[in-house]
């Protein structure tokens, strides 16, 4: 018993010493792991970019169990790390409970809103970016049928799908959108074979453009689309390079920028909710040498006009998570 | 015929297996340029060195005790219940339903209700595979594993729709009300200024798990039903000849096994998260198979193996928190332990048996500790029944 108390006392003293020194930032990756080819990887890219530019270091942890969320947040806070960045909406409830215990530590959460004075919440308007790629899909489609392959059927992915369907309908009101989800377990985020099967099934139903919002599963979707000579749309990071000339575009979600900016600001990071949308280039569609031949000037003009209207508020893309319904598609 | 003394069977063989697994892990850690001795120290202090560490180790162990007992009990009837994951998932649903929709004045009542609900839901999920095995001969391995996926799909549907509070992204139910909050180890053991188990998830469910170990032991070795289950497991034909109904044994064993797996949900749902989250079970049903194999289907063995796996989980987390050893490496270490203690059991067992046989042949008296003779089943990897005097 005495030993326990000594240990606790020692770690408390350590925490005080560490707190006095210049704080090091820390990042907690969600269960997918930092090489998930999706938003964790994007977050990692942002953190790495910051470290390379400044020559500083950051602490990191990849979650492997739900119970570790609280463990990792508390551990980093007690080590005096600040800001502590976590990606993933499932950390919202634990953070909401823990943040008041460490009032001098700054926290950043990506993809969820936590209303505490020392927390910055970064959320993305994925529905706006998906709307833009949906318009491109409808304009590129010959058959008038386009597909959507989601990872797990969770509200966040429905938000992607709903924005996409609205964009499709805006460009071609007669179009058909087929939506499928890969699975019901977290394995759905990393199942390229299933993604490939779903793509083939959607091609069978006439789809000639398929949008993958499914993490690592999307690799299989893009591969099959390329093999079958139809177009695909990547997600989160710019995936146009995976199959040059066969990936129509990618819906980019700049998690990397959010992480980079938070680390750059350091302990002075501004708290409150930060919405990253089309207006502040938090989301958008990717245009580079790999897909330049696929996007005609008319398509670019139409989608840029829509982007400007979304930014100005003239077009309001319905957010599925606001009322859990979608005017353009039934899930 | 006895080949080696009891203590060698229960302690020596697993210990040698563990040392082998640790040695290979050390080589792998060396290969990625880290110090294995340092890694071991971090794992041991991080998982066993403070009340904080124990708070996590015992939390994980509680999960594995329940799922390990579920697999162990079914093993005694030669039924391979691979559906612990699904049964625990549905058990969690039972806990969430009573916690959310009924008012509870005190946690003791809520805990009792959660025990009943999680066990009932877990048992219900095992009932259909049990019926299909007993009446239609559909293999229990196939049906229980398919039922896992049905359980995941059911929970996904409920947590993205009907049971999710609107306006949140999280795939989880609303937090449970105050009256259902069962005490954590911190609440139980802290006194005055000394706060123990700070911030850790271990909770009173651990004692439910220990109680379950005792009850399963009594069931298997002290009751008529337990005798029938073991007889059925040794030889279905002989059991039937002796008047033991196979339908009854299959169904009752599977219901009890499902109930045990379902009970696990109390720990992670009522105890830790205080809400039902989509990913609550996290494959603990499958870890239960390894735990039961390693514990040789005996409740005491299951308890010790579950603590070992709790150690590996918590020690692994500490390893990734304090070194640059990636989390995949931690999975490799866990897998090595499972492989050596479960799958490669005979690799160690047979040389040890031979060693003892040789010593006996030379007339050297061995081990006064030897227990009563145990007739072994032909399948060594998972003996359905191994009476033990270890208590």
Chain B residues touching residue A90 (CB < 8 angstroms): 170-172, 277, 279
Chain A residues touching residue B192 (CB < 8 angstroms): none
- ipTM of predicted assembly, 2 dp: 0.78
Assess if residue B83 is contained within a domain.
yes
CA dihedral B365, B368, B374, B377 (to 10 degrees): -60
Interface check B206 vs A, CB under 8 A: no
Interface check B160 vs A, CB under 8 A: yes
C-alpha angle with apex A200: A199 to A203, nearest 5 degrees?
Answer: 85
Cβ pair A230, A208 in contact under 8 A: yes
Please report the number of interchain residue pairs, chain A to chain B, with beta-carbon separation below 8 angstroms. Answer: 98
Q: Tens digits of per-residue pLDDT, A58-112?
A: 999 998 888 899 999 999 999 999 999 999 888 999 999 999 999 999 999 999 9
Q: Give the span between the Cα atoms of A51 and A59, in whole angstroms.
A: 11
Respond yes or no on whether the N-terminal peptide bond of residue B381 is cis (omega within 30° of 0): no
Chain B residues touching residue A158 (CB < 8 angstroms): 160
The answer to whether the CB atoms of B49 and A7 lie below 8 A apart is yes
**Mean pLDDT score of chain A, rounded to an integer?**
89
Give the mutation candidate from A65, A68, A182 for the B interface (greatest B CB count, under 10 A). A65
Assign A60 to helix, strand or coil.
strand
Assess if residue B233 is contained within a domain.
yes
Sheet holding A176-183, edge to edge: A176-183, A145-152, A209-213, A231-236, A247-253, A283-285
Classify strands A26-29 and A107-110 as parallel, antiparallel or unpaired: unpaired
Distance from CA of B260 to the nearest CA of A (A): 21
Assign B243 to helix, strand or coil.
coil
Residue with the larger pLDDT of the pair A234 and A9: A234
Q: What residues have CB less than 8 Å from A141, skipping those under 6 apart?
A: A172, A175, A207, A208, A209
Interface check B165 vs A, CB under 8 A: no
Could you tell me which chain A residue has the CA closest to the CA of B48? A4
Interface check B327 vs A, CB under 8 A: yes
Q: Is B18 exposed, middle or buried (0-12, 13-18, 19+ CB in 10 A)?
A: middle
Ordered DSSP codes for B265-284: HIIIIIIIISS-BTTSSTTH
What pLDDT score was predicted for residue B269?
94
Report the sign of the C-alpha dihedral through residues A316, A41, A273, A260, in that order: negative
What is the distance, to the nearest Å, from the Cα of residue B155 to the centroid of all Cα atoms in its chain? 22
Assess if residue B240 is contained within a domain.
yes
C-alpha angle with apex B17: B13 to B22, nearest 5 degrees?
Answer: 150
Residue A13 has pLDDT above 50, yes or no: no
Assess if residue B148 is contained within a domain.
yes
The answer to whether the CB atoms of B201 and A67 lie below 8 A apart is yes
**Count of CB atoms situated within 10 Å of the CB of B378:** 6
Assign A144 to helix, strand or coil.
coil
Chain A residues touching residue B277 (CB < 8 angstroms): 66, 90
Could you tell me which chain A residue has the CA closest to the CA of B268? A67
Ordered DSSP codes for A188-249: GGG-HHHHHHHHHHHHHTT--EEEEESGGGHHHHHHHHHHTT-EEEEEES--GGGSTTTEEE
Q: Give the span between the Cα atoms of A162 and A327, in whole angstroms.
A: 8
Interface check B22 vs A, CB under 8 A: no
**Average pLDDT by stretches of 10, chain B with 391 residues:** 70 86 90 89 92 94 97 95 96 95 92 96 96 94 95 91 82 90 89 82 95 97 95 92 92 97 95 89 90 89 93 90 82 85 80 85 56 42 42 36
Report the sign of the C-alpha dihedral through residues B80, B86, B88, B91, in that order: negative
Cα-based distances in Å from A288 to A244, A285, A291, B71, B391: 10, 10, 6, 55, 70
The answer to whether the CB atoms of A66 and B277 lie below 8 A apart is yes
Chain A residues touching residue B268 (CB < 8 angstroms): 66-67
Give the mutation candidate from B169, B184, B276, B327 for the A interface (greatest A CB count, under 10 A). B169
CATH of the domain at B97: 1.10.3470
**Count of CB atoms situated within 10 Å of the CB of A304:** 13
Mean pLDDT is lowest, of A136-140, A223-227, B351-355, for B351-355
Could you tell me which chain B residue has the CA closest to the CA of A76? B321
What pLDDT score was predicted for residue B290?
87
Assess if residue B299 is contained within a domain.
yes
A120: tokens are 């910055």
Window 351-390 of B, Cβ < 8 Å to A? none
Assess if residue B349 is contained within a domain.
no
The answer to whether the CB atoms of B326 and A5 lie below 8 A apart is no
Interface check B139 vs A, CB under 8 A: no
Could you tell me which chain B residue has the CA closest to the CA of A185? B152
* Residue A175 pLDDT class (50, 70, 90 cuts): very high
Could you tell me which chain A residue has the CA closest to the CA of B160? A154
Q: Give the span between the Cα atoms of A71 and B366, in whole angstroms.
A: 48
Beta-bridged to residue A284, according to DSSP, are A252
Residue with the larger pLDDT of the pair A105 and A183: A105
Cβ pair A294, A245 in contact under 8 A: yes
Choose the closest CB to B170 out of A67, A90, A322: A90
Cα-based distances in Å from A181 to A46, A157, A234, A269, B237: 29, 9, 16, 37, 47
Chain A residues touching residue B170 (CB < 8 angstroms): 89-90, 92-93, 112
Cβ pair B5, B369 in contact under 8 A: yes
In terms of Cα–Cα distance, which of B191, B182, B360 is closest to B271? B182
Distance from CA of B153 to the nearest CA of A (A): 5
Give the mutation candidate from B156, B189, B312 for the A interface (greatest A CB count, under 10 A). B156
Assign B182 to helix, strand or coil.
coil
What pLDDT score was predicted for residue A323?
84
What pLDDT score was predicted for residue A7?
46
What is the distance, to the nearest Å, from the Cα of residue B301 to the centroid of all Cα atoms in its chain? 10
Assess if residue B336 is contained within a domain.
no
What pLDDT score was predicted for residue B324?
81
First-to-last CA distance in chain A? 56
Task: Specify the DSSP class assigned to residue B172.
Answer: B
B126: tokens are 């095992």
Beta-bridged to residue A213, according to DSSP, are A150
Distance from CA of B172 to the nearest CA of A (A): 9
Mean pLDDT over residues A187-200, rounded?
Answer: 91
Interface check B196 vs A, CB under 8 A: yes
- Which residue numbers of A have CB closer than 8 Å to B's CBs? 1, 3-5, 7-8, 31, 33, 61-62, 64-68, 70-72, 74-75, 89-90, 92-93, 111-112, 152-156, 158, 184-186, 321-324
Could you tell me which chain A residue has the CA closest to the CA of B174? A93
Cβ pair A117, A104 in contact under 8 A: no
Mean pLDDT over residues A117-131, rounded?
Answer: 95
Chain B residues touching residue A66 (CB < 8 angstroms): 268, 272-273, 277, 279-280, 282
What is chain B's length?
Answer: 391
Chain B residues touching residue A184 (CB < 8 angstroms): 149, 152-153, 155-156
Q: Which letter, b or e, does each residue of B188-216 get, where b requires 16 or more Cβ atoms within 10 Å of its Cβ?
A: ebeeeeebbbbbbbbbbbbebbeebbeeb
In terms of Cα–Cα distance, which of A330, A112, A115, A142 is closest to A230? A142
Residue A5 has pLDDT above 60, yes or no: no
What pLDDT score was predicted for residue A31?
83
Cβ pair B248, B256 in contact under 8 A: no
Q: Is A268 exposed, middle or buried (0-12, 13-18, 19+ CB in 10 A)?
A: exposed
Chain B residues touching residue A5 (CB < 8 angstroms): 194
Strands (E), chain B: none
The answer to whether the CB atoms of A93 and B275 lie below 8 A apart is yes
Choose the closest CB to A89 out of B169, B272, B313: B169
Cβ pair B325, B33 in contact under 8 A: no
Could you tell me which chain B residue has the CA closest to the CA of A4? B50
Chain A residues touching residue B331 (CB < 8 angstroms): 64
Q: Give the span between the Cα atoms of A161 and A168, in whole angstroms.
A: 10
Cβ pair A200, A232 in contact under 8 A: no
Assess if residue B321 is contained within a domain.
no
A90: tokens are 């499932």
The answer to whether the CB atoms of B170 and A89 lie below 8 A apart is yes
Give the mutation candidate from A67, A71, A112 for the B interface (greatest B CB count, under 10 A). A67
Determine phi and psi for B268, rounding to 5 degrees. -85, -20
Distance from CA of B385 to the nearest CA of A (A): 33
Cα-based distances in Å from B358 to B4, B46, B351, B362: 11, 42, 10, 6
In terms of Cα–Cα distance, which of A101, A48, A106 is closest to A82? A106
Interface check B282 vs A, CB under 8 A: yes
Residue with the larger pLDDT of the pair A23 and A99: A99
Choose the closest CB to B199 out of A61, A70, A185: A70
A323: left (phi over 0), alpha (psi -120 to 50) or beta: alpha
Domain count, chain B: 1
Q: Which domain holds residue B134?
A: 61-308
Domains and CATH numbers, chain A: 2-124+257-276 (3.40.50.2300), 126-252+287-318 (3.40.50.2300)
Question: Tokens 């990625």 belong to which residue?
Answer: B32
Could you tell me which chain B residue has the CA closest to the CA of A74? B199
In terms of Cα–Cα distance, which of B335, B272, B308, B252 is closest to B65? B308
What pLDDT score was predicted for residue B117?
97
């Amino acid at each position: 018993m005495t030993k326990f108390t000594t240990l606790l006392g020692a770690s408390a003293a350590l925490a005080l010493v560490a707190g006095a020194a210049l704080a090091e930032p820390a990042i907690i990756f969600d269960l997918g792991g930092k090489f998930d080819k999706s938003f964790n990887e994007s977050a990692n890219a942002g953190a790495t970019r910051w470290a390379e530019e400044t020559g500083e270091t950051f602490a990191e942890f990849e979650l492997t169990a739900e119970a570790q969320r609280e463990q990792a947040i508390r551990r980093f806070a007690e080590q005096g790390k600040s800001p502590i960045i976590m990606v993933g909406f499932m950390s919202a409830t634990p953070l909401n409970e823990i943040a008041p215990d460490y009032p001098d530590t700054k926290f950043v959460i990506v993809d969820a809103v936590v209303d505490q004075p020392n927390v910055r919440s970064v959320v993305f308007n994925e529905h706006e970016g998906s709307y833009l790629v949906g318009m491109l899909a409808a304009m590129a489609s010959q058959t008038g049928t386009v597909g959507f392959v989601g990872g797990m059927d969770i509200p966040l992915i429905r938000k992607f799908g709903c924005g996409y369907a609205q964009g499709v309908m805006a460009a071609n009101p007669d179009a058909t959108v087929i939506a499928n989800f890969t699975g019901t377990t977290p394995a759905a985020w990393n199942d390229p074979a299933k993604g490939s099967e779903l793509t083939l099934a959607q091609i069978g139903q006439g789809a000639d453009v398929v949008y993958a919002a499914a993490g690592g599963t999307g690799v299989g979707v893009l591969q099959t689309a390329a093999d079958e000579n139809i177009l695909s749309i990547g997600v989160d990071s710019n995936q146009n390079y995976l199959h040059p000339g066969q990936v129509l575009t990618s819906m980019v979600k700049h998690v990397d920028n959010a992480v980079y900016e938070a680390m750059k600001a350091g302990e002075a990071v501004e708290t409150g909710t930060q919405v990253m949308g089309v207006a502040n280039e938090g989301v958008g569609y990717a245009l580079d040498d790999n897909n330049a031949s696929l996007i005609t000037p008319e398509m670019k003009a139409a989608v840029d006009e829509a982007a400007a209207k979304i930014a100005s508020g003239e077009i309001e893309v319905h957010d599925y998570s606001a009322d859990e319904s979608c005017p353009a598609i039934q899930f | 015929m006895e080949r080696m003394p009891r203590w060698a069977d229960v302690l020596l063989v697993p210990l040698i297996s563990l040392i082998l697994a640790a040695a290979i892990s050390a080589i792998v850690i060396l290969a990625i340029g880290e110090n294995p001795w340092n890694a071991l120290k971090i794992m041991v202090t991080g998982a066993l060195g403070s009340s904080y560490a124990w708070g996590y180790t015992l939390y994980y162990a509680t999960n594995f005790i329940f799922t390990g007992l579920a697999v162990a009990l079914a093993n005694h009837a030669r039924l391979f219940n691979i559906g612990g994951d699904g049964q625990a998932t549905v058990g969690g649903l039972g806990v969430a339903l009573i916690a959310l929709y009924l008012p509870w004045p005190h946690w003791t009542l809520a805990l009792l209700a959660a025990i009943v609900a999680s066990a009932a839901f877990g048992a219900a999920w095992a009932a259909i595979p049990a019926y299909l095995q007993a009446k239609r001969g559909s293999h229990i391995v196939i049906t229980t594993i398919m039922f896992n996926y049905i359980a995941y799909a059911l929970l996904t549907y409920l947590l993205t729709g009907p049971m999710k509070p609107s306006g949140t992204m999280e795939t989880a139910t609303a937090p449970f009300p105050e009256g259902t909050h069962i005490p954590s180890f911190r609440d139980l053991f802290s006194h005055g200024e000394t706060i123990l188990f700070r911030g850790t998830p271990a909770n009173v469910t651990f004692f439910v798990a220990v109680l379950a170990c005792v009850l399963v032991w009594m069931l298997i070795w002290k009751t008529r039903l337990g005798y029938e289950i073991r007889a059925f497991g040794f030889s279905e034909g002989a059991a039937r000849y002796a008047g033991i109904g196979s339908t009854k044994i299959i169904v009752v064993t599977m219901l009890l096994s499902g109930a045990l797996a379902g009970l696990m949900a109390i720990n992670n749902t009522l105890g830790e998260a205080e809400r039902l989250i989509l990913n609550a079970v996290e494959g603990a049903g499958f870890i239960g198979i390894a735990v039961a194999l390693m514990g040789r289907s005996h409740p005491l063995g299951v308890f010790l193996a579950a603590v070992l796996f709790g150690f590996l989980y918590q020690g692994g987390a500490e390893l990734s928190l304090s070194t640059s050893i990636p989390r995949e490496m931690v999975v490799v270490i866990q897998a090595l332990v499972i492989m050596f203690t479960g799958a490669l059991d005979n690799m160690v067992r047979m040389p040890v048996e031979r060693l003892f046989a040789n010593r006996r042949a030379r007339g050297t008296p061995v081990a006064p500790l030897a227990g009563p003779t145990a007739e072994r089943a032909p399948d060594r990897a998972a003996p359905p029944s191994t009476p033990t005097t270890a208590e």
